[in-house]
Structure 1
Amino acid sequence: MRDERLASRYIAESIVRGSATGVLCALRTGNLTPDLRAKMPFDSLKEAYASVLGLAEAGEAFAQYMIGNVYFWGDYLEIIGDEEAARFDSEEDYYAFAYPIAAHYYELSFRNGLACGFGNYRSIYESDLTEIDFDTYAETFEMLVATGDPLICNDYGKFLEDEYDDAEGAFAHYLLAVERGDNASAANVATCYGRGYGVAEDPDKAFEYYIMAAEAGNPNALFQVGNFYYEGRGNVRRDYTQAVRWLERACAADSEDIRPAAELAICYQNGSGIARDDARAFALLRKLEHRLDELWEPVDAQVLLALGIAYAYGRGTKRDIERGIRYFDQAIEYGSEEAARNRARFEKSFFGLGGWRMR
């Protein structure tokens, strides 16, 4: 389990005992306090940096990774001090200088079997500030899969999917990531089963892997599990109580994802799986009003109907029949018979002078 306070304590202890690598770690994590600087057995950050650089040149993988980080994250500027750092005219000028050096040391660490710098290496490759070509990048990626790092396996699966549409290869690497301990990657395995990508389509297998990824906190998997219960897919029976449980977790994990909000809003408005709560339903619907084009069948019609009900009857918001009618009309265009029945309950007042009213 991650424990930042314990990690900081051990880093601090390593510095007191003479670890130059500990100094760079503390600098990177923001833990190099004035008090800790006073305790480090180095005259300066430059001296600590030089010590780690020597280890990197001698072939120590973690030191190579740390030197890559020094340049990638810009810690080098603090190490050399303001006077020397002034030679860089801009941030872009600095990174044009630093990224090739960072890439070099990351590549050395990769050859020594350490994969943890690859995310930064990928950012460098995508920046076009180095001469890393596609073939070199792809070969490096493939080489790192052999280290057994599950995150690399998952990312390589995505690489195969995006760059080559290699369904079988992508699925195999997603599965390998899970087998090597990254349960969050199970979301990609589930997606493959769900769409029949690289493996026979199997909604029940998809659900099994979505559950695994959801328990690991993957936001998309949390939504997908909720959606399985909301719709009733494969051998999973519709269960709104379970749907609300998982959709709430999905909302908490990613507040920008409107998918769980859409289904939750309908559950709260209808009292499906939970006590009816018009205020909560409308709060969720408000998140959707300007993103309706992102919805999908049949939820798009359901959300339009729910908005129509909220406004036309004043459920969770101030009553605005005309606005509600507009949403009913849109839902009717999507084939909603319930929207048609609700719209029929309203009519224009005599000659339209008084607006809309209930029949």
Structure 2
Amino acid sequence: MERYYSDTLCQGLRLLYFQSDPSQFAEGVQLLETAVANEEPHAFYFLARCYGWGDGNVTSNEKKAKKLSKRGIELGSSLCVLGADRMDILKGDVKNAMTGTLEDAFNDVMSMAESGEPMAQYAIGLFYFWGDMLLNFQKPSREDFAKYEKENAAQALKWFRLSAAQGCLPSFRNAFNSVRNGVNGVTKDLEEALRWAETMDGKVDMRDYYHSFILEYQGLKRHADAIRWCERGVRDGVSVCIVDLGLVYLYGDRGAKEDDAKALQLFNMAADAGDAYGCYNAGRCYYNGWGCATDYNEAFRCFDQAYQRGHQAVKSYLAQCYFWGRGTLVNYEMAVRMMNRLISENQDYPKELMGYCCLYGQGISADMIRGKRLLEEAAQANNGQAWMFLGDMYDKAVGVAEDISMAVSCYQKAADKKIPGASEALGRYKKTLFGKWKRR
């Protein structure tokens, strides 16, 4: 890069495109802005990318992207020309700033790419990958379209891989995902995508991809490889990988022996690093007594942290905590609020608890018809607590006629699930000589 860019611009590019710590992006953008202030032509392309595509976590602003692209083109940046074409803003004043043709700009960037400049290689890869070559230069007939698309996909992959070998993260992303998913004419081959990615270890900062490697290796039943990347993530402080390894130990079916205590230790490590999924899973352990004694107070604390950090599924556990008063005071309104949010998000929710709240008007307006329906749906899914609530409903004639035989049947199913209080409820009844159930 040093051959084409100033030290300031090179350092900015390294922070934005050659490492994956987002806390360093702002400094990278500032360095680009300094290079732009110094009227460095190619700096306008990279800062325009930030505003056009959100690179560096910059808020998109097409007006700024156009202004930067236009000035960069005026200063002679061929990268700005290709970038404006890719952003579909090479028109009007931006296009009028050109002194040469799009083909001239392409050839200039290609020369940079052939000399080994990784960001130019990335730009050439994009030109092939997204069809700019196809639409601007080749313009094949309908019969030849597929042939050219496949050839261009191969060219794009070649340039992405050359760029990635020098550490360019977006090039790695495009090369890996192209083969992993079979995009734009690239043949889908997960094994090949992983094989190539392994060769990039030590060349590219792949921390953002460790989790993807783990999931793909698990899907392929290559558990030793999955655990290897889990452990690599733990060493590198990648919290999602710490959780991944915790789940391996929690379930004991992914290449390691079950060890709930080890799982909890890892979940807490991820939670301490601010990971919402780590908080959620640590809470599950405390709530269910996995690897520790049941501790509802600690479970609620973890669940609340996960919720504050944006975890979605934790609302189901929070609903249970508020409903039963586990780790917090009983609060039916909060329980219903959590369940309604899950419903609005089309997520699973504890129907037996919502059914109870509707049946008795707890935290929500009473709706006995809905309450009964939700309890029956949960019971049909073999939920023991739903059977317990249905037993109470028939026993106490809540929204239905008293039906002792139905109450006993429901309590028996709840007792089979070892629901607390079910056996005691059954003890309130006895059979007559004629086989009919009645209260003792």
TM-score (normalizing by structure 1) = 0.75
1:345 corresponds in structure 2 to 396
Whole-angstrom distance in 1 between the partners of 2:188 and 2:222: 21
Any gaps of 5 or more consecutive residues in structure 2?
1-21, 53-63, 82-103, 404-440
Aligned pair partner of 1:9 in 7, 30, 37: 30
Aligned pair partner of 2:384 in 303, 325, 335: 335
Aligned pair partner of 1:149 in 206, 211, 216: 206
Whole-angstrom distance in 2 between the partners of 1:293 and 1:14: 48
What is the deviation of 1:178?
2.2
Aligned pair partner of 2:121 in 38, 48, 64: 64
Aligned pair partner of 1:190 in 246, 267, 280: 246
Code of the aligned partner of 2:185: T
Q: Superposed, which structure 2 residues align to 1:1-359 within 5 Å?
A: 2=23, 5-17=26-38, 19=40, 21-30=42-51, 32-33=64-65, 35-37=67-69, 40=72, 41-42=75-76, 45-46=80-81, 52-69=109-126, 72=129, 84=136, 99-125=153-179, 126-132=181-187, 134=189, 136-147=192-203, 149-163=206-220, 165-196=221-252, 197-235=254-292, 237-254=293-310, 257=312, 259-288=313-342, 294=348, 303-331=350-378, 333-336=382-385, 338-340=388-390, 342-343=392-393, 344-347=395-398
Instruction: Please tell me whether the aligned partners of residues 160 and 172 of structure 2 are also in contact (alpha carbons under 8 angstroms).
Output: yes
Judged with a 3 Å threshold, the aligned counterparts in structure 2 of structure 1 residues 218 and 202 are, in CA distance, closer, same or farther, namely same
Code of the aligned partner of 1:186: I
TM-score (normalizing by structure 2) = 0.63
2:87 corresponds in structure 1 to none
Instruction: Please tell me whether the aligned partners of residues 184 and 212 of structure 1 are also in contact (alpha carbons under 8 angstroms).
Output: no
Whole-angstrom distance in 1 between the partners of 2:77 and 2:224: 55
2:5 corresponds in structure 1 to none
Judged with a 3 Å threshold, the aligned counterparts in structure 2 of structure 1 residues 52 and 18 are, in CA distance, closer, same or farther, namely farther
Which segment is superposed worse, 169-178 or 4-13?
4-13
Deviation per CA, 1:149-178: give whole Å up to 9, x if none: 333444333332223x11112101211122
Instruction: Please tell me whether the aligned partners of residues 222 and 250 of structure 1 are also in contact (alpha carbons under 8 angstroms).
Output: yes
Code of the aligned partner of 2:355: G
Judged with a 3 Å threshold, the aligned counterparts in structure 2 of structure 1 residues 89 and 43 are, in CA distance, closer, same or farther, namely farther
Code of the aligned partner of 2:161: E
Larger Rg: 2
Which segment is superposed worse, 305-314 or 112-121?
112-121
Whole-angstrom distance in 1 between the partners of 2:77 and 2:347: 60
Whole-angstrom distance in 2 between the partners of 1:12 and 1:292: 43
Judged with a 3 Å threshold, the aligned counterparts in structure 2 of structure 1 residues 322 and 280 are, in CA distance, closer, same or farther, namely same
Which segment is superposed worse, 265-274 or 210-219?
210-219
Deviation per CA, 1:191-246: give whole Å up to 9, x if none: 111122222221111112222333445443332122112222112x3233332332
SS of 1:117's equivalent? helix
Deviation per CA, 1:9-63: give whole Å up to 9, x if none: 3212223445555333223221654554565432662387765543321113344
SS of 2:185's equivalent? coil
What is the deviation of 1:351?
11
What is the deviation of 1:254?
4.6
Higher relative contact order (CA 8 A, sep 6+): 1
Instruction: Please tell me whether the aligned partners of residues 150 and 177 of structure 1 are also in contact (alpha carbons under 8 angstroms).
Output: yes
SS of 2:184's equivalent? coil
Any gaps of 5 or more consecutive residues in structure 1?
296-302, 353-359
What is the deviation of 1:289?
5.3
Which segment is superposed worse, 339-348 or 196-205?
339-348
Whole-angstrom distance in 2 between the partners of 1:71 and 1:17: 31
Judged with a 3 Å threshold, the aligned counterparts in structure 2 of structure 1 residues 52 and 249 are, in CA distance, closer, same or farther, namely farther
Instruction: Please tell me whether the aligned partners of residues 100 and 129 of structure 1 are also in contact (alpha carbons under 8 angstroms).
Output: no
Code of the aligned partner of 2:249: Y
SS of 1:2's equivalent? helix
SS of 2:271's equivalent? helix
Instruction: Please tell me whether the aligned partners of residues 45 and 69 of structure 2 are also in contact (alpha carbons under 8 angstroms).
Output: no
Which segment is superposed worse, 222-231 or 336-345?
336-345
Whole-angstrom distance in 1 between the partners of 2:288 and 2:353: 17
